[in-house]
Structure 1
Amino acid sequence: MTEGVRSNERTAAPLLSLRRVEAAYGTSQALFGVDLEIHAGECVALLGRNGMGKSTTVKSIMGLLRLRGGDVEWRGRSLRPLVAHQIARAGLGLVPEGRRVFPNLTVRENLLATARPSPSRGAGWSLDDIYGMFPRLRERERNLGCHLSGGEQQMLAIGRALMTAPELLILDEATEGLAPLVRGDIWRCIELLKRRGLALLVIDKNLGPLMRVADRHYILEKGAVVWRGSSQALRDRPELVRDYIGM
């Protein structure tokens, strides 16, 4: 694996560590020894073409896919013994690909369904916090999830994840298929969350805004990390984008 950053640039213990993670769907292996780290307040991007293992990596982190090998550690403790809801309660929030809002609950009910206080920061996120970030959700507060536009559903999915009071938020294709104006709103939200000190793992095909917000990038190819480095290091290697990302 080629590295675009020196290993001694960070000395603090990471929030999240993947150590030689292997995962499979039945007999078909999907991840081959994936290593990844995310530190407090850091935004990390996971890049690669479709089918290279990005969403599988997310499922492995969140306990939605059982590991075949390696380990996922949160604050130095293994997540392997935990099931998905226990991992979420530990401080990892997920905005899944496809949004997956509760269709028969209102916007308000969707947000309150996952709300919990933050173990480290007191009250966590409130409805007013979410509505301040996404005013459209306040306007649609009494509407069912199934009656929202795609962009509104994405805002709701992000708000719902934030209501779990995460220390790390994972966004899997959060701007996929959205109109440009709505996509801009989502990127402004991501930038705001980073300024607030929330750790982020972002999967997205929009490399321009991603390069502005991400501190580091990992590129996956056929279930393995083939490169990692800073945004500037990636800008200096346009062949990586051409060969592994296809943009």
Structure 2
Amino acid sequence: MMNSEAIPPPGSGALLQLHGIETSYGDSKVLFGVNLEIQAGQCAALLGRNGMGKSTTVKTIMGLQPLKKGSITLRGADLCRMRPHQIAHAGIGLVPEGRRVFPNLSVRENLIATAKQAAHSGPTWKLDDVYAMFPRLQERERHLGCNLSGGEQQMLAIGRALMTNPELLILDEATEGLAPIVRKDIWRCIALLKSRGLALLVIDKNLGALMRVADTHYILEKGVVVWNGSSQELSANPRPVQDHIGM
């Protein structure tokens, strides 16, 4: 097990590294020195009850919420002074909570709207790759985003993020509110992405599914990482989950 104090300082060689990040909404402090790192090709899970700072951590990584203190680096490059589109261009893809597909664009237009060439040597994605992963999107490629089902919109949100050819993909509650058969499809997709060597940061309430795919877990409580370790460690000692999440 590695606790939050044991994260190496910036420059340790991790793909993504958060070191002592603090974030506030106005006068209300939300994150209190969060430390987290993800290696290339690794899947990390961010766990915690609602309101503990998980989505705020994601927003801070993506430049959508100002960083008050600390550092965020991608392959050692400082992200703290970058705008959200620059962070995306640097190699981080986001599947946001609530999907947020472009409602008045077709499936195909959604996918190619933000597509870019990969700036790295890792796995890459083109339109045909996304359609191979989600055949339903190819069947519906001329339909507007607003006319898709919730599951189809989630597939589209994932496909759109992959079309940016990221080194790291962040999925914020990607299975929330979906039918069981669709959730199963999303988890299949996540496992496939990991098998292809894409680094992942996943926020989800399905601990069983996360235990099967994640290499490491971080538990947030009131804006602080209170535990982190491997799936094996968490399986051997489920007390942190019982104490801090209540599952």
**Same fold per TM (> 0.5)?**
yes
Whether the aligned pair in 2 keeps the contact of 1:117 and 1:123 (CA below 8 Å) is no
Runs in 1 of length 4+ with deviation above 6 angstroms?
none
Q: Distance in 1 between matches of 2:52 and 2:210?
A: 19
**Which residues in structure 2 correspond to 1:1-247 (within 5 Å)?**
3=3, 13-121=13-121, 124-247=124-247
- Map Cα deviations across residues 173-213 of structure 1 (whole Å, 9 max, x no partner): 00001000000000000000000000000000001010000
Q: Partner letter of residue 193 of structure 2?
A: L
Deviation of 1:120 (Å): 2.2
Contact 1:106 1:143 in 2 (8 A): yes
Identity %: 70
Describe the superposition over 1:55-110 as per-residue Cα deviations: whole angstroms up to 9, x where unpaired: 00000100000101101111112111111000000000000000000000000000
Q: Which runs of no fewer than 5 residues in structure 2 stay unpaired? A: none
Q: How far apart, CA to CA, are the structure 2 residues paired with 1:121 and 1:42?
A: 16
Gaps of 5+ in 1: none
State which drifts further: 29-38 or 119-128. Answer: 119-128
Query: What secondary structure is seen at the aligned counterpart in 1 of 2:68?
Result: strand
Q: Provide closer, same or farther for how the CA distance between residues 63 and 76 of structure 1 changes in structure 2, counting only shifts above 3 A.
A: same
Q: Shift in Å at residue 232 of structure 1?
A: 1.0
User: Aligned pairs, how many?
Assistant: 244
Q: Distance in 1 between the 2:138 and 2:57 partners?
A: 33
In structure 2, how many angstroms separate the alpha carbons of the residues matched to 1:147 and 1:73?
A: 38
Determine helix, strand or coil for the equivalent of 1:205. Answer: coil
1:116–1:124 contact (8 Å) kept in structure 2: no
- Counterpart residue identity of residue 198, structure 2: L
Q: TM-score, normalised by structure 1?
A: 0.95
Kindly indicate whether the alpha-carbon contact (under 8 Å) linking 1:151 and 1:178 is maintained by their aligned counterparts in 2.
Answer: yes
